[in-house]
Amino acid sequence: MTVVFAFLCLLLLPVIAEDSTRGGTRRRNDFVVNVDAFGAVGDGVADDTQAFLGAWQQACSSPKSVFLVPEGQRYRVNATKFVGPCTDTIVIQIDGTVVAPDDPQSWDPRDQRAWLAFHNLSMAAFQGNGVIDGSGSKWWAASCKKNKTNPCRAAPTAFTIESSSSIRVKGLTIQNGQQINFAVSRSDSVRVTGLKVTSPEDSPNTDGIHISESTKVLLQNCKIGTGDDCISIVSASSSIRMKNIYCGPGHGISIGSIGKNNSTGRVEKGGSGFVRSVRYQRVTMENVSNPIIIDQFYCDSPTACQNQTSAVEISRIMFQDITGTSRTKEAIKFACSDTVPCTDIYLKDINLQGEDAKVETFCNSVSGSQLGFVQPSAECLSASNSSTTTIREGEEVWATENHLSTIISDEEPPGFTNS
């Protein structure tokens, strides 16, 4: 699925350090810690893991520090967790390339879920024009989604920010993730701008940006092309906003899979929980399969899913100002559960055309309304028999506690500044 927005890539110039000291330098009141000063080789072959950890310990324990990965080098780093809290604000300046070992057999089985993970940070900025390369090709080849004779096993997330707050990520390139490319987990107040995420179209499960159990996350001016969801949002996340996102190739901007283990927040068949207060706004589609879709029967499992009747409750969803072309006959699809129907689903100013044929809307167990011009028509949206809350034009729909709220538009979310 391809979702096209305007794209502007923002890059930060690297910090240049002067006045060398052991393991770092100072400039403009910042203490710059260069991984090279701790023995990093940067030839893409030597193991630079310990040098990175040594530099991190120095930077994290120093006030107003910069952890510097200099340009022009390739640093091979094994699975590593960079742990805070740090003494003060910290800048992680990545101008070189950080690469993962490419052979899954060489990985420690205790580190199968994450490659580079940053844990328990506050007031941290990740920036630069460098590359984080997960070297995922052998992981993809070993996936059961590429070859059903392969065993299904977990693969690492390339870059993770977890249990952190007040985080800024700007200008980096993340590519070839072993599985998910970039994850934000259990974090608050995260701003991601000018990020480029790439993996081949046929790479399995390589979500571009994956958000879980997080709140107040802003994604802006990012270009994402992967083999799975460009952006995925799952359990217990709220106040997520996206602005100027280019997605393609990929499976679009998805909420789910969710509903496993009664989680909240594409919806797993037989799951339970809820998704509420979501707005998709000002989106352009180019030859997209299923441009607008809610599917409570979605099943992403290597084995057949049981025909369970429970489903995630979905309500207060607005699709507004969406135009473009559909590759599939069903340009709009609302496949909702008879047991837990979708309610308060709104379409406003929609114009989706078929590439070669007419398109249509499919509805099952869904209520709501269409406003303004809607093509294809969604007259199958029935009026709800229950009490509904209309989403009015211009209304913000930020969620209360434990609600999952996602808004894709071009306005600033509450709680963020332009800094």
pLDDT tens by residue, 161-197: 999 999 999 999 999 999 999 999 999 999 999 999 9
410 forms beta bridges with none
pLDDT band at 302 (very low <50, low <70, confident <90, very high): low
* Segment 224-244, tens digit of pLDDT: 999 999 999 998 899 999 999
Please, are residues 332 and 292 in contact by the beta-carbon 8 Å criterion? yes
255 forms beta bridges with 233
Looking at residue 383, what is its pLDDT?
Answer: 56
Distance CA 409, CA 99 (A): 34
Please, are residues 142 and 150 in contact by the beta-carbon 8 Å criterion? yes
pLDDT band at 21 (very low <50, low <70, confident <90, very high): very low
Neighbours of 108 (CB within 10 A): 8
Looking at residue 303, what is its pLDDT?
Answer: 56
Looking at residue 357, what is its pLDDT?
Answer: 82
Distance CA 352, CA 226 (A): 24
Among 64, 61, 56, 58, CA closest to 31: 64
- Catalytically active residues, by annotation: 251
Looking at residue 195, what is its pLDDT?
Answer: 98
Neighbours of 319 (CB within 10 A): 25
Return the SS3 of 228.
Answer: coil
Neighbours of 418 (CB within 10 A): 4
Distance CA 373, CA 225 (A): 31
| Mean pLDDT, residues 323-338 | 94
- Among 45-49, 82-86, 231-235, 401-405, the range scoring the smallest mean pLDDT is 401-405
| Mean pLDDT, residues 274-301 | 88
Distance CA 143, CA 149 (A): 9
Please, are residues 273 and 312 in contact by the beta-carbon 8 Å criterion? yes
Looking at residue 105, what is its pLDDT?
Answer: 86
157 conformational bin, left if phi > 0, alpha if psi -120 to 50, beta if neither: beta
Domains located in the chain, CATH noted: 1-254 (2.160.20.10), 256-410 (no CATH)
Looking at residue 294, what is its pLDDT?
Answer: 93
CA dist 171 to 41, 130, 184, 191, 324, Å?
24, 8, 16, 12, 29
Looking at residue 267, what is its pLDDT?
Answer: 40
For 118, half-sphere exposure in the C-beta direction (CA atoms, 13 angstrom radius) is 27
65 forms beta bridges with 31, 90
Distance CA 231, CA 208 (A): 6
Distance CA 383, CA 60 (A): 57
Percent of the residues in the chain that have a pLDDT greater than 70, as a whole number: 77
Please, are residues 217 and 399 in contact by the beta-carbon 8 Å criterion? no
Distance CA 271, CA 261 (A): 7
- Among 11-20, 139-148, 244-253, the range scoring the smallest mean pLDDT is 11-20
Among 319, 379, 377, 321, CA closest to 349: 321
The tokens describing 38, both together, are: 């701790």
Per-residue exposure over 9-34, b if at least 16 CB sit within 10 Å of its own CB, e if not: eeebebbebeeeeebbbbeeebbbbb
Distance CA 94, CA 79 (A): 17
Looking at residue 265, what is its pLDDT?
Answer: 34
Looking at residue 333, what is its pLDDT?
Answer: 96
State the pTM of this model: 0.84
> How much of the chain is helix, strand and coil, in % rounded to 5?
5, 45, 50
